[in-house]
Amino acid sequence: MGRTARPPCVLSIAGSDSGSAAGIQADLKTFAAYGVHGLTAITAVTAQNTRAITAIRVLPQSMLLAQLDAVLADFRVAAVKVGMLGNEANTRLVARWLRRHRLPNVVVDPVLVASSGNRLLARGAVAVLRRELLPLARLLTPNTPEAETLLGRPIRTWSEARAAAEDLRGLGAQAVLIKGGHLGGRQVHDYLSAGEGDLEFTHGRRNYSVRGTGCTLASAVAAGLALGWSLHAAVERAEHYLQDAFRAAQRRGRGSSRILQHDVPH
């Protein structure tokens, strides 16, 4: 076989999911599907499966920083996906580290609460995320409950969700992809607010639950940006990739939720 070009590297800063449905594990599977090299800096270790999260341990700042510095010392990072951060200290650390090194294509998935209801970011860290991390984001990817927390107001309708995306851009993010799955209805809408050429995506709602969709979507966008795609192209392809992975999702454990099938063509 002939030599192939060295794939770009994408760094995921996120928590570990022992059930391999979300977090670092979902990110790495997505990176592999896109043909990019995945790097990781683990912020927290969770004990979970398809039924529940039974324990969460946020890693100390010193260990998180050691991972970040080790990765940057050896790899050229083409994009960064930020997921679960755990607490205020690690949120501030990641924001300052990203600002110091001026890394490109930062995609922030503001993981605040798991689908099971477990809080994954301490309440006091939300203000730090809003103030220090959002202005570094090329793309912010909240669902509507996360957007409610970041803006401090309820979102009940699709028009309110679109307005929330615009207001979140006002907090500093270059672009916002708001996900409307929590709004109910037979159709699910996602909306990209990027200043010009905004996009709306509509998907049929499925009758089964799947974990890791937010992680996978954000990681797919980061991978696309690392490959040199425009933001609009990266988001559009990520939306299609997620839907393909969603359609192919399978039950792996004894719980009711399914796990995305990441190795689908895209």
Q: How confident is the model at residue 266 (pLDDT cuts 50, 70, 90)?
A: low
Average confidence score pLDDT of the chain: 89
Query: Does residue 4 lie in a domain region?
Result: no
* CB burial of residue 179 (10 Å; 0-12, 13-18, 19+): buried
Report if residue 255 sits inside a domain: yes
Q: Is the pTM of this model over 0.85?
A: yes
Q: Is residue 264 included in any domain, yes or no?
A: no
Residue 3 lies in a domain: no
256 vs 158, which has greater pLDDT?
158
Residue 90 placed within a domain: yes
CATH code at position 112: 3.40.1190.20
The reply to whether 238 falls in a domain is: yes
pLDDT attached to residue 119: 61
Domain tally for the chain?
1
Phi, psi of 181 (to 5 degrees): -60, -25
pLDDT of the residue at 250: 80
Q: Are 77 and 11 in contact (CB under 8 A)?
A: yes
> Domain residues for 59?
9-259
* 245 within domain boundaries: yes
Instruction: Compute CA 118 distance to the chain's CA centroid, rounded to the nearest angstrom.
Output: 17
What's the alpha-carbon Rg for the chain, to the nearest Å? Answer: 17
Q: Name the band, by pLDDT with cuts 50, 70 and 90, for residue 97.
A: very high
For residues 168-180, average pLDDT = 94
Residue 266 lies in a domain: no
pLDDT digits (tens, 9 = 90+) for 37-91: 999 999 999 998 888 888 999 999 999 999 999 999 999 999 999 999 989 999 9
Measured between alpha carbons, how far is 14 from 199 in angstroms, rounded to an integer?
27
What's the average model confidence in pLDDT over 111-125? 68
